[in-house]
Chains A and B, each alone.
Chain A
Amino acid sequence: MDFSSLIGCVSSASCMVTQSLSGLTIGMLLFLVASGLSLIFGVLKITNFAHGSFYMLGAYFALTVYQVTNNYFLAVCGAALGVGLFGVLFERFLIRRIYGSNVLMQLLLSYAVILILDDIVMLVWGSEFQSMGMPDLFRVPPIRFAGAYIPVFYLFLIVAAFAIAGGLWFLIEKTRFGKVVRAAAHNGEMAAALGINTSLLYSFTLGLGGVLAGLAGGLAAPVRSLVPGMGMSILIESFIVTVIGGMGSIVGAFVSAIVIGLTRSFGGIVMPEFTDGLMFLVMVIVLIVKPTGLFSKGRD
């Protein structure tokens, strides 16, 4: 454990800026995936283990749109819409059949979808890894601030993720649709009895989860290698985020994603070989203190 490096970093403006920015970058991508996961669980009471594959699909959709149009913003939008549509189809044809089933059935179905999607990606895009490359707009030297290097693309990524988080919060908390979603999350049967079309709502919720995962995949594509199976690692981290924040809580996902991001970036200085362990440690501590997660409204 290298605490002297951590103390050195905390007392250095450049290191603090660099590490904080890194933490936010990691956290914001995690938030986009975890918020979809949390939303789906909150409304449908389904743990979508295939959500990492949604992120993978988003990255590949973005790659294809970018190769065709050479426009990164279209690529991200294409990824979001493509995965959103896939989410709707996923709910209509698969998830709908296991509502009320136990977790084992959810796991089996999701895992089958993970394997099928990995193979489809391999058939369509090939087994070798692919790289989108940095769009020309962001191929500029990093900004120097307080002695730190700040990549322009990461600034964009953080701002975009904050904007999406704000939009999502507004949608859920301040609109009529958000009220319906919250009502269905609280008691789906009662919501249906009051005339809410829960069938449509469930499809829309999975579609929205897909949009968020697709956005994450599209935003990550310029800096991460695209390879079949790439969704698995982000899925595990996203689960940690949702567990810490509280299953079903968007605000919880946002806060805990930032906590996990900062844990990774600063923890990497103290224990570079134990950063994954640190994330789980944070999760264990939260589960001991508040078993339902930091922002869950459920009883502990």
Chain B
Amino acid sequence: MGKTGKRSIHRRAFVKGIGGVAMVAAVAGFPAIVRARNTGPIRIGVSAIMSGRVAQMGSSSTNGAIMRVDAFNTSGGLNGRMIELIIRDSKGRPDEAARINRDFINRDDCDMILSLEASTGAFAVQEVVRELGTLCMHCLSETSSLTADPKLRTPNAFRSGRQGAHDAISAGSYAASIAKEKSLKKWMTVGPNYAYGHDTTEQFLNYLNHFSPDIELGSQLWPKIFQPDYTDVINKILQEKPDAVFTCLWGGDLSSFIEQGNLYGLFDQAQYFCIALADYTTMAAVKHLPSGIHSGNRYVSTFPGSATNAAWEAEYVRQFNSRPTNWSWEAALGMQFLIEGIRKTGSSDGNEIAGVLPGMIVNSPFGVDGTITMRAEDQTIVEYGTGWGVTQSTEPFMPNVTPTDWKLIYELEAAWKKEQGYI
């Protein structure tokens, strides 16, 4: 008993001692920490897919962010405070993305997060930043619900990437106009067999039907993601002989489909609408790009056709010896919004910056009229350049893009949100 009591006193003394040390540290150390945060580098955690089959997503998007940060730091930073990017590989796994972002906040003391995750990772990151309240800019997730759904939205998370809903309206209206012009009645679709493929195809068909209700839908084909051989898909198209084919295949899958389709003269036999072709890494990688394929713009330096856009591409190529992707401009824009927020508030405090981002307009080479707005109501970008054009087999691959009218996008997006119960 006595021993126990003696031990108990020791424990109390120990706890008191620790408490005292902690108080002293808090009083003496806290201002030091605050000073460090006001004088040290501005830390931004960047989680990206840097390995595996879509490593290009991580490498090209981080390049876009690095360009912006270098320009900021070269210009003197925020009163001498430089931005330090802490880049980590999430390997495309949502659980890893969540863990990395928790570490950014809890261990690395990051001031804010730049999420370069695909949609599945972005949703995981969204839950982390909702819980911890850290400012986050999602750059690459194109799933509309991330910011459109009020249940998912959080005041400290924004999106600087294009949206599936916007692209679907753009694609549907453009395809319907070509369908009317060329009397394209019988359609087929080819999409990768996962959520993105099914959602994008469904949304496209909704708007195609909206603008052109008399189309007939034939087979819908769903090859697996990263499928190496598309012969079965090509044969089915050859059998059905549609007037038009819509596909949301992308990257290497789209390249394989085109290279294999070329062997059959596939692209001479129908009109093809590829939502994700117009990115240089795909158009330049396909060695024999057929002329006359319709595609939505991902990133092309000819649209918006401004000198600033061409100059941005040239600078990117100079720095990284490769061409920018759609992901590059989305990340560059996300970083630009964060930097503008830092400059406007004169602080690296995420809460303060989150307060100035809604409604912010920035000058941007990617804006349809030279500016892009962070729409306040759903914390996502609008007025970026979105449109469709036709490929040619040589540079610049897509010389002209027909921009989609943002008034039309706003009108149909509002109807879609109402339908989904978001507003």
Contacts and interface: CB of A to CB of B under 8 A. Distances in A.
Given A22-B232, A134-B287, A272-B222, A151 B56 contact: no
Contacts of B252: 129, 225-227
A234 B228 CA distance: 8
A233 B53 contact: no
A269 B232 CA distance: 8
A222 B259 contact: yes
A188 B148 CA distance: 66
Contacts of B222: 272-273
A25 B263 CA distance: 13
Nearest to A9: B239
A223 B260 contact: yes
Contacts of B281: 128-129
Interface string A165-205: 00000000000000000000000000000000000000000
Nearest to B56: A128
B221 interface: yes
The interface size bin for chain A is 35 or more
Contacts of B239: 5, 9, 15, 18
The residue in B53, B58, B60, B227 that gathers the most chain A C-beta atoms within 10 A of its C-beta is B53
A268 B255 contact: no
B285 A154 contact: no
Contact of A268 (B58, B232, B265): B232
A226 B253 CA distance: 10
A297 interface: no
B256 interface: yes
A127 B227 contact: no
Nearest to B254: A225
The interface size bin for chain B is 35 or more
Nearest to B52: A229
A129 B251 contact: yes
B344 interface: no
Interface in B244-299: 251-253, 255-256, 259-260, 262-265, 281, 285-288
B56 A142 contact: no
A265 B55 contact: no
A151 B264 contact: yes
Nearest to A23: B231
A142 B235 contact: no
A149 interface: yes
A114 to B, nearest CB: 12
Contacts of B228: 220, 224-225, 230, 233-234
Given A127-B59, A129-B255, A26 B229 contact: yes
Contacts of A126: 322
Given A225-B252, A233-B226, A272-B222, A127 B263 contact: no
Contacts of B232: 22, 264-265, 268-269, 272, 275
A230 B134 CA distance: 38
A142 B262 CA distance: 9
A225 B264 contact: no
B238 interface: yes
Nearest to B253: A225
Interface in B37-94: 51-53, 55-56, 58-60
A133 B259 contact: yes
Contacts of B265: 141-142, 149
Contacts of A127: 51, 55-56, 58-59
Nearest to A233: B228
A131 B263 contact: no
Nearest to B229: A26
B10 interface: no
Nearest to B235: A18
B198 to A, nearest CB: 11
Contact of A273 (B193, B255, B259, B263): B193
Contacts of A265: 231-232, 235
A127 B89 CA distance: 14
21 contacts: A22-B231, A22-B235, A119-B51, A128-B322, A129-B251, A129-B252, A129-B281, A129-B285, A131-B259, A133-B259, A134-B262, A141-B265, A149-B264, A152-B263, A154-B263, A222-B259, A225-B251, A233-B226, A265-B232, A268-B235, A273-B193
Interface of B: 51-53, 55-56, 58-60, 193, 219, 221-222, 224, 226-229, 231-232, 235-236, 238-239, 251-253, 255-256, 259-260, 262-265, 281, 285-288, 322
Interface of A: 5, 9, 15, 18-19, 22, 25-26, 119, 122, 126-134, 138-139, 141-142, 149, 151-154, 220, 222-230, 233-234, 264-265, 268-269, 272-273, 275-276
